[in-house]
Amino acid sequence: MTLEQLRAQAISTVWQAVVQSKVDLSTIPPDQQEKLVSTIADNVLILADSLLNTPSEPELEEDKKEVEEFGEQVLWQGRPFLSLVEFYTLTSDRLKIVKGFISRDIENFELVRIQDIDFKQNISERALGIGDIHVRGHDPSDPEITLRNIKHPEEVYETMRKAWLEARKRHGLQFREFM
């Protein structure tokens, strides 16, 4: 289910609750009613996401130990909004994506292989404070990855961009553009 569908379902559920409560909203203009219901739905989704965000997620703790063994520095860890089966770890050398609840699929994207990083937010994502980060590069297994529904995407984007530039500098790589 996409974020738009999830948000629409939450709004629908709030409207159903208003009807069931038999609260008279006729004194509130229709546009204000819609704004109120949308705000309640967005805040319920944010609350649900924060309840899913347990302080010691085993996958993230396991990643920290593994990364420290290789001398990498963990720069950021996170997961998509309302997801229990996908986790991201950004280190000083790579981006690690772990998918799966019972079985696991692990993808490592070396920062020196990245060619471009962008982030994107639509209007409902801005309201929830989330967005997508797109990474393109020369990774043999998957040249494009999207970190979807990330909290504070602009901050994560900047952290990733700085790590990418630093990794390229450490490995002696320079940017060259052909025109």
pLDDT at 52 (0 to 100): 72
> Rounded to whole angstroms, how far apart are CA atoms 60 and 67?
10
Within 47-156, strands assigned E span 74-78, 86-91, 94-99, 105-110, 114-120, 130-137, 144-151
Per-residue pLDDT tens for 94-138? Answer: 999 988 877 788 888 999 989 999 999 998 888 889 999 999 988
Could you tell me whether strands 86-91 and 114-120 are parallel, antiparallel, or unpaired per DSSP bridges? unpaired
Per-residue pLDDT tens for 74-99? Answer: 899 998 988 888 899 999 999 999 88
Return all residues near 30 (Cβ < 8 A) that are at least 6 apart.
none
Report domain extents, the chain. 3-52, 58-170
Which tokens sit at 144?
A: 């494009």
Per-residue pLDDT tens for 18-46? Answer: 889 988 888 999 999 999 999 998 888 88
DSSP state of 172: T
Model confidence, pTM = 0.70
The CA angle 150-60-166, to the nearest 5 degrees, is: 65
Model confidence at 55: pLDDT above 50: no
CATH hierarchy code of domain 58-170: 2.30.29.30
